[in-house]
Structures are given as C-alpha cells and as structure tokens.
Amino acid sequence: MCDECKNKYDKSKKESYKEYKKNRRDNREQKFYSSKEWITVRDIVRRKYNNICLYSYYILHEIKYVDYIHHIIELKEDWDKRLDIDNLIPLSDKVHKIVHREYDRSAKDKKQMQELLRELKRKYEKEFGTNLKS
C-alpha cells in the first residue's frame, strides 16, 4: 500500500472505530477493549489470519484488510469467551456491519451467521494452516 493510501486507510479506520466506540455502552466492555490482554490477543488473531477479512476473502471473493476482531459469540452472551481465539474472527468494517445486521435480524439468522463465521475460520485453517495455536 502506498503512503497516501495507507494514510487514507488509517484515517478511515480511526473514524470508523470512534463511531463504533461511541455506540458501545457497556463500561466493562470499554475497559476490556483497552486492556493489554485484549490488544495482545487481537494482534495474535490479526497475524494468524494475515490481516485479512475472512468473510471478504471467501464470500465476497476480495481481499480486504481487517478493521475489527469480532467476537462470534458476543461478550454480552459469554464474557468468558472474550479472549478465546476460537471465538474471534478478523473482519473489515463493511463486513462487521453486515454481521451485526444479521445478528440483530433474528435469533435464527444470528445462529446461522455464527456458524458461517466458524466455518470460514475452519476453511482458512485447513487451506493455509496456521503457525499459531488457536
């Protein structure tokens, strides 16, 4: 990525994160997302999947950089899975919004999306392997 594109990407990412953070209300979640433990695990997941959005890669057939590390089972549903690498998937901003729309549509749609996300992780790990323990 050239410097100009990188600067645009970084600025867009910051703005997107500010909006996301503003909409996140749970104070415990806010603290968690600033913790050393989360930052470490988040970075491990980014490296494990080569900093690409798995949904974009397999479903949209395009390569997009990661904007979010998403909890497949949300924190509000199971706090104990917050640092579980098997519960985390890298997503672009666009896909993160798609995923949450499905989560909000119905319990059935949420469950289907969660299974799809798990399947994308399995597919990637089978296809490319991984040098990091999940």
Q: For residue 20, what pLDDT is reported?
A: 62
Residue for token pair 């990091």: 132
Q: For residue 18, what pLDDT is reported?
A: 64
At 17, which amino acid appears? Answer: Y
Q: For residue 132, what pLDDT is reported?
A: 57
Q: For residue 46, what pLDDT is reported?
A: 97
pLDDT in 10s for each residue of the chain, 134 residues: 777 777 777 777 777 666 666 555 668 899 999 999 999 999 999 999 999 999 999 999 999 999 999 999 999 999 999 999 999 999 999 999 999 999 999 999 999 999 999 999 999 999 998 765 54
Three-class DSSP labels, the chain: CCHHHHHHHHHHHHHHHHHHHHHCCCHHHHHHHCCHHHHHHHHHHHHHCCCECHHHHHCCCCCCECCEEEECCCCCCCHHHCCCHHHEEEECHHHHHHHHHHHHHCHHHHHHHHHHHHHHHHHHHHHHCCCCCC
- Expressed in angstroms, the distance from the first to the final Cα of the chain is 29
The pTM of the full predicted model, rounded to 2 decimals, is 0.79
Beta bridge partners of 65: 52
Beta strand 68-71 pairing with 88-91: antiparallel
Q: For residue 126, what pLDDT is reported?
A: 95
Residue for token pair 């979640």: 29
Rounded to whole angstroms, the Cα distance separating 24 from 78 reads: 17
Q: For residue 52, what pLDDT is reported?
A: 98
Q: For residue 125, what pLDDT is reported?
A: 95
Q: For residue 134, what pLDDT is reported?
A: 44
